[in-house]
Chains A and B, each alone.
Chain A
Amino acid sequence: MILIHCPYCDEKRPELEFTYAGEAHIARPADPSTLSDEEWERYLFIRANPKGRHNERWRHSFGCGRFFNAVRDTVTDKFETTYKAGEPRK
């Protein structure tokens, strides 16, 4: 069971306390009505799905409840780092 560092609690906690929440740094467009179908499709469905380093979102669901970002290697399952929502991509 992986230990995940919550950047808000500043503690490593068991993964049971967390929920995965998809790829990070995909901002909802400010005005979706101006997007073409293709652009909207890209926002809605298209994801990087890399083998290796992945910026992704987690929620400390059974802790502080905050969403945050993480860099995890999808091959080794190791977390490189976690950081607060709103901080630049790491």
Chain B
Amino acid sequence: MSGFRMDQGGRVDRGARVNFTFDGKPYQGFAGDTLASALLAAGVTLFGRSFKYHRPRGIMGAGVEEPNALISVDRGGGRFTPNLRATQIEIYEGLNAKSQNRWPSLKRDFGAINDRLGRFFPAGFYNKTFMWPRSFWEKLYEPAIRRMAGLGDAPSEVDPDHYDAGYAHCELLIVGAGPAGIDAALEASGSNARVILIDEQDELGGGALADPSLWPWLERSVKALQAAPNITILTRTTAFGYFHDNFIGAVERITDHLAEPGHGPREKLWKIRAAEVILAQGAIERPLVFEGNDVPGVMLASAARVFALRHGVAVGKNVAVMAAHDSGWKDALALAKAGVGIAAIIDVRDAVDAGLVAEAEAKDIPIYLNYSVIGVNGRHHVKSAQICSNDEYLGGRIACDALLMAGGWTPSIHLWSHSKGSIAWSEDWGAFLPDKPNENVRCVGACGGTFSFGKGVNLGQLPTPKDPATIKAFLDFQNDVTAKDIALAVREGYHSVEHIKRYTTNGMATDQGKTSNLNALQLASGFLDRPIEKIGLTTFRPPYTPQSFGAFAGHAKDALFIATRKSPIDSWAGEQGAVYEPVAQWRRARYFPRSGEDMHAAVNRECLAVRNGVGIFDASTLGKIEVVGPDAAEFLNRMYTNPWKQLEPGRCRYGLLLREDGFITDDGVSARLAPDRFHLTTTTGGAARVLNMMEDYLQTEWPDLNVWLTSITEQWAVIALQGPKARDVIAPFVEGIDLSPEAFPHMAVREGMICGVPTRLFRVSFTGELGYEINVPAAYGRAVWEVLWDAGEAHGITPYGTETMHVLRAEKGFIIVGQDTDGTLTPYDAGLAWAVGKKKADFVGKRSLARPDIVAEGRKQLVGLLTDDPNEVLEEGAQIVADPNQPVPMTMLGHVTSSYWSATLGRSIAIAMVAGGQGRMGETLHIPMPGRTIAAKVTAMVFYDAEGVRVNG
């Protein structure tokens, strides 16, 4: 043996040396090593500091169950991953691994003072101590605690990797490729069923990888599975969650084990739907609870077996075994056979299987039956174990350099529990086993309770002559929860297992209590004097192990995070230097700055251009719905507040849409193209909602109406030409439509041709000027726009964006649903009483307009606001009060909903929601701002061209 590396045995390749560093120090391992096995081989025992007490910690497990050895891996260039288990990190050439939660170094850790202060840090300590005063919590306690207690650092750079995702469907999904999972897969091989076999390790075999007698079988089986065309094998893949209807989430780690990450995805998220699921996740050994059970070198017996027989590493040269279960004896004997010195087998039981005892005696291993370990000497590594007879409390000291714990086995029922399968207590196992399934799933092998590790006893804590309240015997190693914390929680009145868990934080660390839940439950059962099956297990929730955010984000990041909808004219705006803004899912041109202009200057210029000449605006994002059928007019008459049946073909109407509760939900101008055909427009953000609402009424309330609804938002590009010269610009390009004001007045629609393509030409205006909204098939949108743009040059045509559109409509008092309304305004509140058909017997929302609270006085209503100082532009969202001198809390009357500088008027304008607003005309109200108060007069909402003559130009 060189160091702790055994001369032979294991599955590592002794011919392939791998160089890596741990905390900056160079080490060498073999291909097939984990970081844990390679460092143990080099004699390293100290892997981290514990969460709360900063106690030195070593390796406890050999795989997914490891609670202590959490490691950060830095690959450079932003590839930084904290909180990885050393037992699952495959080493590669150049691996740069670091320990966590220590300062300034792992050996000399400042935070270890917490361990000495341990009696001041009982369960619930943070809750009790740091409640008050609040300012202390924010400034002092929280930052200090965050620095002291913690896991690894969060990455500080952008993750350069990308992540794949995909769906998979199969007849059979098998999770876990130990002997039971492999057998299940072999049984299904050669059939027509699609089978997916998942395992989190780098090679198939599970527990068989640490049992050389099974290797010939394993090799044959893996070859057979690889050759089976119906079986897909996914290694390095963790099934992290089991969701409804046999939907399993799994993450495949593709590049983390490679020296060069390459250009492919780092991980892949598999979303698997399986007709049947077989869970073969095995079982996890339980630690034993005694003083010093967290000293580096104290570990699970099963872990020592894996290190020796799979990796060829002895965890010590003289190893003691503390057993409460036969499996500890079997592991000790396997280690002895492999050449590891066994210092002693101590068993808490007074009688153990005679065959095991005989085998141990034959190997001259000292045996202590009815004994317990009551203490461990050594701080950074085990030096000896103190043992004691359970009856007489007489004992002694056993020199050893590692101490193995065999506390029995806990079947891994995590995914079973995710699937909402029920569980039942098994006295034999001292654990919960799967009971009744809730999905088409079954558990096989150890996780189903059908594999035998031998016999054992179920213990809360090992017997000890000391006062249990004076010792630190750990349950949850990752969250530093001790046996006495459970006692304290019970004493303080926490009797539900869910409460005990939250109060002590047992099982709440990143390992979700894989090694601690059952021990804590055994203890609680004792303290509460209630059988475990009456206490129950806390709920397992996904993920089974922590997963990267990248895997869940997948391709949905940066530009692909959410779809950006672009109009056919969007690219033109970009070429002209437009500044964009997001509107619903759309990207829209907000303004078109000329060189040196800020938004204010650009918007002022754009506004004046529309009022005095002509502006061109991309309105393609407007929601559009085509309503067709003999009952189309009847349907719209029932949906909208105003009458639609008498609207003549060729005419447009402003439509106001309420919910059944009477509140405004959308509006828009719509046209009747023919007796049975309407072209509706909705707000940009409301299109899908309105279509859904209309479909709902049509399908479920009035299925007798013969009407079809079709979304045509993306079929039509819409070019708004607005301003006194709008007609002059389009006239040369329009065919088949008489543009004269008499033949084609305001609020009319015509079908014809423009620039040689079909158009639905609306004469409508959201600016108060003469204007057209030119609908052309989307594919021609940019071409028509460019023709009009070129021709408009002679008329001083100016492109304008959404900001100018907002100012122009506010000058006219046109509301924006969702900005000036908030889902609590009726048509009367919004000053739109004129849009309600008084003679209509019914429409959606009508009955609610007579509800007592809707007709009550003092409701918030939309009004105009003009500041006393015309240069003062109010903040949108600012609160409004009547008495600026009222002490805080002041009576707030409402808030500013829209506010702009109006270049046309040479002053600011605003729209506001004010309680009883329509009865306050001429009243001066006040808008308190930091350090000052602004006075403003309540006015009508129309600030410009109140007579409305300009649209008729």
Q: A: which residues have CB within 8 A of B? A: 1-3, 15, 19, 21, 27-28, 31-33, 35, 37, 40-41, 44, 57, 59, 61, 65-67, 76-77, 85-86
Q: Identify which of B420, B703, B842, B848 contacts A86 (C-beta below 8 A).
A: B703
Task: Please list 6 pairs of residues, one from A and one from B, whose beta carbons are closer than 8 Å in the complex, sorted by A's number.
Answer: A31-B842, A32-B846, A40-B851, A44-B660, A67-B695, A76-B438
Given contacts A37-B851, A44-B661, A67-B695, contact A1 B243 (CB under 8 A): yes
B701 within 8 A of A: yes
Please determine whether A76 and B420 come into contact, CB atoms closer than 8 angstroms: yes
Residues in B852-877 with C-beta less than 8 Å from chain A:
852
**Given A28-B697, A67-B695, 13 additional A-B pairs, CB 8 A:** A3-B244, A3-B245, A31-B842, A32-B842, A32-B846, A32-B847, A33-B842, A33-B847, A67-B696, A67-B699, A85-B703, A86-B700, A86-B703
How far does the alpha carbon of A44 sit from the alpha carbon of B844 in the complex, in Å? 12
Please determine whether B245 and A66 come into contact, CB atoms closer than 8 angstroms: no
How far does the alpha carbon of A35 sit from the alpha carbon of B850 in the complex, in Å? 11
| Distance between B473 CB and nearest chain A CB, rounded to angstroms | 40
How far does the alpha carbon of A32 sit from the alpha carbon of B848 in the complex, in Å? 9
A65 contacts across to B, CB distance below 8 A: 695
The 0/1 profile, CB within 8 Å of A marked 1, for residues 262-292 of chain B is 0000000001010000000000000000000
How far does the alpha carbon of A76 sit from the alpha carbon of B437 in the complex, in Å? 13
Residues in B737-764 with C-beta less than 8 Å from chain A:
none
B703 contacts across to A, CB distance below 8 A: 85-86
B846 contacts across to A, CB distance below 8 A: 32-33
Please determine whether A37 and B852 come into contact, CB atoms closer than 8 angstroms: yes
| Distance between B761 CB and nearest chain A CB, rounded to angstroms | 31
Q: Identify which of B245, B420, B842 contacts A1 (C-beta below 8 A).
A: B245
| Distance between B763 CB and nearest chain A CB, rounded to angstroms | 33
Please determine whether B244 and A2 come into contact, CB atoms closer than 8 angstroms: yes
Residues in B217-259 with C-beta less than 8 Å from chain A:
243-245, 247
Please determine whether B699 and A66 come into contact, CB atoms closer than 8 angstroms: yes
How far does the alpha carbon of A27 sit from the alpha carbon of B702 in the complex, in Å? 10
| Distance between B824 CB and nearest chain A CB, rounded to angstroms | 15
Q: Identify which of A28, A33, A37, A44 contacts B841 (C-beta below 8 A).
A: A33
B426 within 8 A of A: no
A66 contacts across to B, CB distance below 8 A: 699
| Distance between A45 CB and nearest chain B CB, rounded to angstroms | 8
B692 within 8 A of A: yes
Q: Identify which of B245, B661, B695, B848 contacts A2 (C-beta below 8 A).
A: B245
Given contacts A1-B244, A33-B841, A77-B244, contact A28 B848 (CB under 8 A): no
Q: Name the residue of chain A whose CB is nearest to the CB of B709.
A: A65
| Distance between B701 CB and nearest chain A CB, rounded to angstroms | 5
Please determine whether B695 and A1 come into contact, CB atoms closer than 8 angstroms: no
B244 contacts across to A, CB distance below 8 A: 1-3, 15, 77
Q: Name the residue of chain A whose CB is nearest to the CB of B243.
A: A1
Please determine whether A67 and B700 come into contact, CB atoms closer than 8 angstroms: yes
B700 contacts across to A, CB distance below 8 A: 57, 67, 85-86
How far does the alpha carbon of A86 sit from the alpha carbon of B692 in the complex, in Å? 18
Question: Which secondary structure dominates chain B's binding surface?
Answer: mixed
Please determine whether A27 and B701 come into contact, CB atoms closer than 8 angstroms: yes
Q: Name the residue of chain A whose CB is nearest to the CB of B691.
A: A65
Please determine whether B661 and A1 come into contact, CB atoms closer than 8 angstroms: no
Q: Name the residue of chain B whose CB is nearest to the CB of A34.
A: B847
Please determine whether A59 and B245 come into contact, CB atoms closer than 8 angstroms: no
Residues in B669-718 with C-beta less than 8 Å from chain A:
692, 695-697, 699-701, 703
A37 contacts across to B, CB distance below 8 A: 851-852
How far does the alpha carbon of A2 sit from the alpha carbon of B697 in the complex, in Å? 27
| Distance between A72 CB and nearest chain B CB, rounded to angstroms | 12
Please determine whether A40 and B842 come into contact, CB atoms closer than 8 angstroms: no
Residues in B429-457 with C-beta less than 8 Å from chain A:
438
How far does the alpha carbon of A3 sit from the alpha carbon of B847 in the complex, in Å? 38
| Distance between A40 CB and nearest chain B CB, rounded to angstroms | 5
How far does the alpha carbon of A28 sit from the alpha carbon of B847 in the complex, in Å? 11
Please determine whether B247 and A1 come into contact, CB atoms closer than 8 angstroms: yes
A35 contacts across to B, CB distance below 8 A: 847
Q: Identify which of A21, A44, A77 contacts B848 (C-beta below 8 A).
A: A44
| Distance between A9 CB and nearest chain B CB, rounded to angstroms | 15
| Distance between A66 CB and nearest chain B CB, rounded to angstroms | 6
* Closest 5 pairs between A and B when the two form their complex, measured CB to CB: A32-B847, A2-B244, A3-B245, A1-B247, A28-B701
| Distance between B509 CB and nearest chain A CB, rounded to angstroms | 28
How far does the alpha carbon of A34 sit from the alpha carbon of B743 in the complex, in Å? 44
Please determine whether A40 and B848 come into contact, CB atoms closer than 8 angstroms: yes
How far does the alpha carbon of A54 sit from the alpha carbon of B676 in the complex, in Å? 39
How far does the alpha carbon of A66 sit from the alpha carbon of B244 in the complex, in Å? 23
Q: Name the residue of chain A whose CB is nearest to the CB of B249.
A: A1
B438 contacts across to A, CB distance below 8 A: 76
How far does the alpha carbon of A28 sit from the alpha carbon of B845 in the complex, in Å? 11
Residues in B585-604 with C-beta less than 8 Å from chain A:
none
A77 contacts across to B, CB distance below 8 A: 244
A19 contacts across to B, CB distance below 8 A: 692
A1 contacts across to B, CB distance below 8 A: 243-245, 247, 271
A61 contacts across to B, CB distance below 8 A: 692
How far does the alpha carbon of A86 sit from the alpha carbon of B699 in the complex, in Å? 9
Q: Name the residue of chain B whose CB is nearest to the CB of A27.
A: B701
| Distance between B577 CB and nearest chain A CB, rounded to angstroms | 37
How far does the alpha carbon of A41 sit from the alpha carbon of B850 in the complex, in Å? 12
B245 contacts across to A, CB distance below 8 A: 1-3
How far does the alpha carbon of A66 sit from the alpha carbon of B848 in the complex, in Å? 27
Interface centre among A1, A2, A27 (most CB of B within 10 A): A1
The 0/1 profile, CB within 8 Å of A marked 1, for residues 769-789 of chain B is 000000000000000000000
How far does the alpha carbon of A54 sit from the alpha carbon of B239 in the complex, in Å? 32
A31 contacts across to B, CB distance below 8 A: 841-842
| Distance between A25 CB and nearest chain B CB, rounded to angstroms | 10
Q: Name the residue of chain A whose CB is nearest to the CB of B247.
A: A1
How far does the alpha carbon of A44 sit from the alpha carbon of B273 in the complex, in Å? 39
| Distance between A26 CB and nearest chain B CB, rounded to angstroms | 10
How far does the alpha carbon of A67 sit from the alpha carbon of B438 in the complex, in Å? 28
How far does the alpha carbon of A85 sit from the alpha carbon of B702 in the complex, in Å? 11
Q: Name the residue of chain B whose CB is nearest to the CB of A3.
A: B245
How far does the alpha carbon of A47 sit from the alpha carbon of B473 in the complex, in Å? 53
How far does the alpha carbon of A37 sit from the alpha carbon of B438 in the complex, in Å? 45
Q: Name the residue of chain B whose CB is nearest to the CB of A86.
A: B703
How far does the alpha carbon of A1 sit from the alpha carbon of B274 in the complex, in Å? 12
How far does the alpha carbon of A31 sit from the alpha carbon of B841 in the complex, in Å? 8
| Distance between A71 CB and nearest chain B CB, rounded to angstroms | 16
Q: Name the residue of chain B whose CB is nearest to the CB of A31.
A: B842
Q: Name the residue of chain B whose CB is nearest to the CB of A85.
A: B700
| Distance between B588 CB and nearest chain A CB, rounded to angstroms | 25
| Distance between B271 CB and nearest chain A CB, rounded to angstroms | 8
| Distance between B810 CB and nearest chain A CB, rounded to angstroms | 33
How far does the alpha carbon of A40 sit from the alpha carbon of B848 in the complex, in Å? 8
B841 contacts across to A, CB distance below 8 A: 31, 33
How far does the alpha carbon of A9 sit from the alpha carbon of B244 in the complex, in Å? 21
How far does the alpha carbon of A41 sit from the alpha carbon of B662 in the complex, in Å? 12
How far does the alpha carbon of A37 sit from the alpha carbon of B848 in the complex, in Å? 9
Q: Name the residue of chain A whose CB is nearest to the CB of B271.
A: A1
| Distance between A57 CB and nearest chain B CB, rounded to angstroms | 7
How far does the alpha carbon of A15 sit from the alpha carbon of B271 in the complex, in Å? 14
How far does the alpha carbon of A70 sit from the alpha carbon of B490 in the complex, in Å? 45
A57 contacts across to B, CB distance below 8 A: 700
| Distance between A53 CB and nearest chain B CB, rounded to angstroms | 17
| Distance between B840 CB and nearest chain A CB, rounded to angstroms | 10
A67 contacts across to B, CB distance below 8 A: 695-696, 699-700
| Distance between A15 CB and nearest chain B CB, rounded to angstroms | 8
B701 contacts across to A, CB distance below 8 A: 27-28
| Distance between B249 CB and nearest chain A CB, rounded to angstroms | 9
Q: Name the residue of chain A whose CB is nearest to the CB of B659.
A: A44
| Distance between B404 CB and nearest chain A CB, rounded to angstroms | 43
Given contacts A1-B243, A32-B842, A33-B842, contact A59 B847 (CB under 8 A): no
| Distance between A65 CB and nearest chain B CB, rounded to angstroms | 7
B695 contacts across to A, CB distance below 8 A: 59, 65, 67
Q: Name the residue of chain A whose CB is nearest to the CB of B847.
A: A32
How far does the alpha carbon of A83 sit from the alpha carbon of B661 in the complex, in Å? 28
